[in-house]
Amino acid sequence: MGRYCARRLLETIPLMLVISIFVFMFIHLLPGDPAQTLAGKEATVEEVEAIRAEFGLDKPLIVQYFNYMKDLFRGDMGRSLKSNIPVSELIWSRFQFTIQLVCAGLVWAPFAGIFIGVICAIKRGTFVDLIGMLLAICGLSAPGFWLGLMGIQYFSVHLGWFPVSGLDSWRSFILPSIVMGTGIMATLARYSRSSMLETLREDYVRTARAKGQREAIVMFRHAFKNSLIQVVTILGLQIGGLLSGSVITETIFSIPGMGRLLVDSIAFRDYPAIQGLLMIFAMQYVLINLVVDMLYGVINPKIRYD
């Protein structure tokens, strides 16, 4: 297992290199000039040139790329063109908000989603199944911004239960947590239901029943555990998406997370910040996939890492 992990981590190095080249190329393909934006509308040509020279934007692209990579290997992600803050410091400060938001969503949504899915599968075709799947469809179709704004209007403005913005008390986590988690809950409910239904049709479930095992044991030891592999894969992808920042939740609840940083940086053409963020996002996906692969072995010990 240790060797497998090490190999997987080593494999990410060339992957990250390729990603860095693509990211660098694409962000420089975008129309727009950060020096112009930074200088402001009343800037003279000389001022724009001075800014371009100060940030090394006047050098050929290939030179800019190698300078960037050279610094990156020394652990320096450059400085934000917009705020002049080191990109690593900027991302770290935003990451703390994003991770709080992600945790707020994950604290309930996966459990609720899997619970609903499993119960719906067991009670397939009944009233419970209908209600569960209706909830899932509503959760999938309710856009985050609608849910957030409705929540703010009803629970913050009318009832005064929760604050509108920030993440500084347990109350302030409730609404963002609902907005962040609803989609995950709904997706996982759908997947775990279908995965569970598939597993219930397997021969080993029939065998277990034929052996006269109690229904609860059949369901949870044989069916549920095996149905989890698919669910964990989906959950991993969902978490990866959340960690890249949820622009909508962050915008509505005024939380300075990574999603808003990315959008602001793109609008400003803040090259070092965009580059840094995209590299971090790619890295997060790689790591989450690794964790998911590890979890397969925990769920089903027959899976080996050779």
Contacting residues toward another protein, per CB under 8 A: 30-34, 36-47, 50-51, 54, 82-85, 90, 93-94, 97, 127, 130-131, 134, 138, 149-150, 152-154, 156-158, 160, 163-166, 251-256, 260-261, 264, 267-269
* Closest approach of another protein to the CB of residue 153, in Å: 4
Q: Which is nearer to another protein, 82 or 222 (CB)?
A: 82
* Closest approach of another protein to the CB of residue 130, in Å: 7
CA angle 250, 91, 234 (to 5 degrees): 60
Distances 291 to 5, 36, 148, 242 between C-alpha atoms, Å: 9, 43, 31, 16
Residues 303, 14 contacting (CB under 8 angstroms): no
* Closest approach of another protein to the CB of residue 143, in Å: 13
Long-range CB contacts (< 8 A, 24+ apart) of 140-143? 140/183, 140/186, 140/187, 140/190, 142/182, 143/248
* Closest approach of another protein to the CB of residue 96, in Å: 10
Q: How many CB atoms lie within 10 A of CB 61?
A: 11
Residue 176 CA to residue 104 CA, distance in Å, equals 7
Q: How many CB atoms lie within 10 A of CB 150?
A: 13
* Closest approach of another protein to the CB of residue 6, in Å: 36
Q: How many CB atoms lie within 10 A of CB 22?
A: 12
Q: Which is nearer to another protein, 14 or 31 (CB)?
A: 31
* Closest approach of another protein to the CB of residue 30, in Å: 8
CA nearest 247: which of 136, 104, 88, 101?
101
* Closest approach of another protein to the CB of residue 224, in Å: 27
Q: Which is nearer to another protein, 12 or 96 (CB)?
A: 96
Please list the alpha-helical segments (H only) found in 40-169. Answer: 45-54, 61-73, 87-106, 109-122, 127-141, 144-151
Long-range CB contacts (< 8 A, 24+ apart) of 202-207? 202/226
Q: Which is nearer to another protein, 38 or 122 (CB)?
A: 38
Residues 159, 83 contacting (CB under 8 angstroms): no
Helix (H) or strand (E) holding 81: none
CA angle 231, 282, 24 (to 5 degrees): 155
* Closest approach of another protein to the CB of residue 12, in Å: 29
Q: Which is nearer to another protein, 222 or 269 (CB)?
A: 269
